[in-house]
Amino acid sequence: MSIERSLVLVKPDGFQRGLTGEVLRRIEGKGYRLVALAVLTPTREQLAAHYAEHEGKPFYEPLVEFMSSGPVTAVVVEGQDCVKGFRSLAGATNPTDAAPGTIRGDLGRDWGTKVQQNIVHGSDSHESATREIGIWFPDLEG
């Protein structure tokens, strides 16, 4: 196991529902350290960089539109294997499939085809985390 960093986003649906504090409580309860935190409404440029690998896919435009629809809480977390650990804490992408005890399983709603409205984003690999942290926190060192 290694100490690493990951990007976590509390998406507009989670922010609007007042779930940022609960998400942060679960992250800290898991033993991860908060390294950086910002509340902002993402720009289209930020989102284009963040979701570049999905450009051209059918869900890309609805996702960018949703993610730019209101404030998000962007957080850099640090801890042992926190990329994998946070993804486990978040639960399955579709809140309907997410296990009880996970963020999406406990707090998510069934939005039908709007699966992007699933409260949180977490980096899916160490490489993605490094790239994403650079997009959301360009002045953050190492």
Domains by residue range for the chain, with CATH: 3-136 (3.30.70.141)
- Residues 6+ positions from 59 with CB-CB distance below 8 Å: 116
Q: Examine the pLDDT at 71 and tell me if it is beyond 60.
A: yes
Q: Examine the pLDDT at 113 and tell me if it is beyond 60.
A: no
Name the catalytic one among 50, 54, 121, 126: 121
Q: Please give the sequence-ordered ranges of beta strands (E in DSSP) within 1-142, or none if there are none.
A: 3-10, 33-40, 72-80, 120-122
Strands 72-80 and 33-40: antiparallel
9 to each of 65, 96, 110, how far by Cα in Å?
16, 20, 19
Give the relative orientation of helices 20-29 and 82-90 as an angle to the nearest 10 degrees: 130
Q: Examine the pLDDT at 111 and tell me if it is beyond 70.
A: no
pTM confidence score:
0.93
Give the relative orientation of helices 126-136 and 82-90 as an angle to the nearest 10 degrees: 80
Residue linked to tokens 């069934």: 110
Amino acid at 34: L
Annotated binding residues for ATP, written as ranges, equal: 11, 59, 87, 93, 104, 118
Which of these, 132, 102, 95, lies nearest to 117 by C-alpha position? Answer: 95
Q: Examine the pLDDT at 10 and tell me if it is beyond 80.
A: yes
How many CB atoms are located within 10 Å of the residue 110 CB?
A: 11
Annotated binding residues, written as ranges, equal: 11, 59, 87, 93, 104, 118
Q: How confident is the model at residue 109 (pLDDT cuts 50, 70, 90)?
A: confident
Q: Can 54 be counted among the known catalytic residues? A: no
Q: How confident is the model at residue 92 (pLDDT cuts 50, 70, 90)?
A: very high
Q: How confident is the model at residue 115 (pLDDT cuts 50, 70, 90)?
A: low
Q: What is the pLDDT of residues 15-65, one digit of tens each?
A: 999 999 999 999 999 999 999 999 999 999 999 999 999 999 998 999 999
